Chain A
Amino acid sequence: MRPLQVLLVEDSEDDALLVALELRRGGYAAAVTRVQSAADLQAALQRGPWDVVISDYSMPRFNGREALRLVRAAGGGEIPFVLVSGHIGEESAVEALKAGAGDFVMKQNLTRLVPAVEREMRDALIRRERRETLEALQRAVAARDQFLSIASHELKTPLTALQLQLQSLQRLLAGEQPADERMVTKVRTATRSAERLGELVNRLLEVSRLTTGQLELSPEPFDLAELVRRLAERFAEPLEDAGIVLAIHAPAPVRGRWDRGRVETIAASMLSNAIKYGAGRPVDLGAALRDGVARLWVRDRGIGIAPEDQARIFERFERAVPEHHYGGFGVGLWVARLVAEAHGGCIKVESKKGEGSTFTLELPRGEAP
C-alpha cells in the first residue's frame, strides 16, 4: 500500500468513506482529512503538504469551483486537484476543467477515481518541474547579466590606468629630441590596441546596461552632418585597409537633440558593419532631414542580408553569417535598435542578398534648438 495524504472537501460523511475505500482498493494507504468550509480548506492548505485534493462539486455551504480557486491560490497548478460529483452538468464540468481542475469523476462511477488521481498527480509534477526549470533558467540569465556587468566594470579599471600610461608615454616621447621613430610607432600601435580594447569593454558595459534596463539618455544639441564627417575621418584607416571608397552625403546641417555619444556609437557600428560586410566595394554615408525626422544612413554593396534574416539581426547575439568568418559580439545592431527606440526613433534595413544593404537610423529631432 502506498501512503497518500488526501485533503477531501466533502459534506457527506458517507461519501467521504466511499472515497477513502476506493483509494484503498486502488492500492493507497490514504490518510484522509475532511473539510467542509472555505475557512477549514484554507487552514488545511496552509498546514500541507497534500498529495491530492479531492473535492465534491456541490455542497450546501461550499462548492467545488470555489475550492479549486482556493487550492490554485495556495499552490498554483502544483497541488493535484480532482472533482467528484453526484450530479454535475456537462457545462459545469467543462467550466471546472477550464478553470484548472485536473479531472472530474462521477460518484456513480467511482472506479475512475484512482486513475484520475494518479494522472492528475503526474500532471501536477510535470507542471512543477516546468516551473522549476523556468526559474533555473531565469536565475542563470540573471547570473549571466550580473557577470557581464561586473566583468565590464572590472575590465575598465586597469584599462583606464593602461591607457593613461600609454598617453603619458606618448607625451614623453613627443618631448624627446631627436624623436625615436621606432618607439613612437610602437607606442602608437599599443595605444590603438588599448583603444580597441576600451571600445569592446564599452560595448559590454552598454549591453549590460541595456539588459538590466539602466539606459538613461543624455540628450544635447548637435549636428548629425558634422558627426558623419567626423566619423569618416575616424574610419579613414579601416576604410583604407579594406580598400573601400567612402562617399559622404551631408550637404546641410541636421540639427537635433540626441545623446551624442550613443548616436555616434550607433553610426560607428553601422559604418563598421558596412566595412565588414561590404566586400571592398564603395560605401555611402549620409545624413539628411526630412519631414522633421533626421536620418543617418549607410549603404554598402556587399554580401547583403537574406529577407528571413533581416529582423533577426536586430536581436541580441544574432548575426546573419557564421561568427567565425567575421569578428564582433553580434550586439551592435541590437544596441542600435534599443538606443534608437529610447530616442523615439528606429533603425531600418533594406537589403538584397548579394547586392548590399542600406541601414537607416531615424531620429525625431527632439526639442531642436
Chain B
Amino acid sequence: MRDTPVPGGGRRTVLVVEDDRDSRDTLRELLELEGWPVATARNGGEGLARMRELRPGLVLLDLLMPGMGGAEVCRQRAADPSLLAIPVALITADLDLAPELRSPELVGRLEKPIRIPELLALVERYCGAGR
C-alpha cells in the first residue's frame, strides 16, 4: 500500500496521541513551529481512527491514557498489517517496558522528559521530505 504524500514541502504528518492537554498542545506547537504538519488524538481509540484516516508519517504515542492506552494501540496495530506500516514511537515515563512493547515494530521510545533534539531527529527521519 502506498501512502499519499501530504502537502507542505513533502513533509508528512506527525500524529500525537496524548491524553494530557498541556503535553499534547506543547508537542503540537513545538512541531508546528518547526514546520511539521501535526494531527492530534486524545486517546488510543481516537489514535487508531486517525492512523487509518490520515496515514501519518509518524505516531507519537503516550503509554498511559485513560480508556484505551498505548499498549492496547500497539496490540491492535500488530494485528492489522495496514497499520503496522505506520511507524510508532512511544512516549513513556517508564524505564521498565512490558516485553511486548519492546517489539521491533516500534521505531523509537521518547523518555520523559522529552529532549527536543531527540524528538526532532525522530520526526525528521520518518516525516522528512526524503521519505
Mark A residues whose CB is within 8 Å of B: 153, 156-165, 167-168, 171, 195, 198, 205, 209, 214-216, 218, 261-262
Contact = CB atoms under 8 A, between A and B. Distances in A.
B93 interface: yes
Contacts of A205: 93-94
A198 B33 CA distance: 25
B2 interface: no
Interface stretch (B6-14, B42-50, B77-85, B111-119): B111-119
Contacts of B95: 218, 261-262
B26 A198 contact: no
A158 B116 contact: no
B23 A167 contact: no
B115 A167 contact: yes
B26 A165 contact: yes
A161 B96 contact: no
Nearest to A262: B95
Nearest to B115: A167
Contacts of A215: 96
A160 B94 CA distance: 13
Contacts of A162: 22
B112 A156 contact: yes
A164 B112 CA distance: 10
Contacts of B93: 153, 156-157, 160, 205
Contact of B26 (A161, A209, A216): A161
Contacts of A198: 113
A158 B95 CA distance: 18
B127 interface: no
A6 to B, nearest CB: 56
B72 interface: no
Given A153-B64, A214-B96, A261-B95, A160 B113 contact: yes
Nearest to A159: B113
A288 B113 CA distance: 32
Contact of B20 (A158, A163, A167, A261): A158
B30 interface: yes
Nearest to A259: B95
A160 B23 CA distance: 7
Contact of A157 (B23, B30, B116): B23
B3 interface: no
Contacts of A156: 93, 112
Given A156-B112, A158-B20, A198-B113, A164 B26 contact: yes
Given A160-B93, A195-B113, 16 more contacts: A156-B93, A159-B112, A159-B113, A160-B20, A160-B112, A160-B113, A163-B113, A163-B114, A164-B30, A167-B116, A168-B26, A168-B30, A168-B116, A198-B113, A205-B93, A218-B95
Contacts of B96: 209, 214-216, 218
B59 interface: no
B125 to A, nearest CB: 19
A161 B95 CA distance: 19
5 contacts: A160-B112, A161-B20, A163-B113, A164-B23, A168-B30
Contacts of A160: 20, 23, 93, 112-114
Contacts of A214: 96
Nearest to A162: B22
Max count, chain A CB within 10 A of own CB: residue among B26, B95, B96, B115: B95
A35 to B, nearest CB: 53
Max count, chain B CB within 10 A of own CB: residue among A157, A159, A209: A157
B33 A168 contact: yes
B64 A164 contact: no
B30 to A, nearest CB: 5
A164 B16 CA distance: 14
Max count, chain B CB within 10 A of own CB: residue among A157, A164, A205, A262: A164
Contacts of B115: 167
Contacts of B25: 161
Interface string B69-103: 00000000000000000000000011110000000
B22 A161 contact: yes
Max count, chain A CB within 10 A of own CB: residue among B27, B64, B112: B112
B20 A164 contact: no
Nearest to A155: B93
B45 to A, nearest CB: 20
A214 B114 CA distance: 23
Contacts of A157: 20, 23, 93
Contacts of B116: 164, 167-168, 171
A215 B95 CA distance: 9
